[in-house]
């Protein structure tokens, strides 16, 4: 039985978990790449600058044993979701490449800055709960 946060609950539909608690679903075929999903999320979230973002697979949740696997933009989604060792993981949109100047990001792309803020707040709160 698949968990609610598994990569695939419906064949060829990927769920991407966002930092604000929303879930975006994407249908894909053998030609769909990670970059296609990121571009679609850029449009849906009204992000101007996407260079700081990446899709990651998370295993272990927000506990100390959490593992994040950065997905390459050129990877076909079908290869990602059908690998057995990725089953049971969640797909997340994360800011993985921290901006040199967050204030500049705020000026250039307030939506991306807000996403960074929510992500940072969520991670720091989880670290506090786990006593790290």
pLDDT in tens, 87-129: 778 899 999 888 999 999 999 999 999 999 999 888 777 666 6
In a domain, 7, yes or no: no
In a domain, 99, yes or no: yes
- What would you measure as the largest C-alpha separation in the chain, in angstroms? 46
The domain total for the chain is 1
The domain that contains 20 carries what CATH number?
3.10.20.90
In a domain, 4, yes or no: no
The count of other CB atoms within 10 Å of the CB of residue 44 is 13
pLDDT at 39: 95
């Amino acid at each position: 039985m698949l968990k609610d946060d598994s990569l695939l609950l419906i064949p060829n539909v990927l769920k991407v978990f966002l930092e604000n608690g929303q879930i975006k679903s994407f249908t894909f075929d053998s030609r769909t790449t990670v970059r296609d999903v990121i571009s679609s999320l850029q449009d849906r979230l009204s992000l101007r600058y996407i260079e700081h973002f990446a899709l990651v697979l998370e295993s272990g949740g927000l506990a100390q044993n959490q593992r994040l696997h950065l997905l390459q933009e050129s990877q076909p989604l079908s290869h990602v979701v059908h690998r057995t060792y990725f089953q049971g993981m969640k797909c997340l949109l994360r800011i993985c490449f921290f901006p040199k100047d967050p204030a500049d990001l705020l000026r250039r792309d307030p939506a991306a800055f807000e996403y960074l803020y929510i992500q940072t707040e969520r991670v720091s709160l989880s670290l506090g709960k786990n006593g790290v």
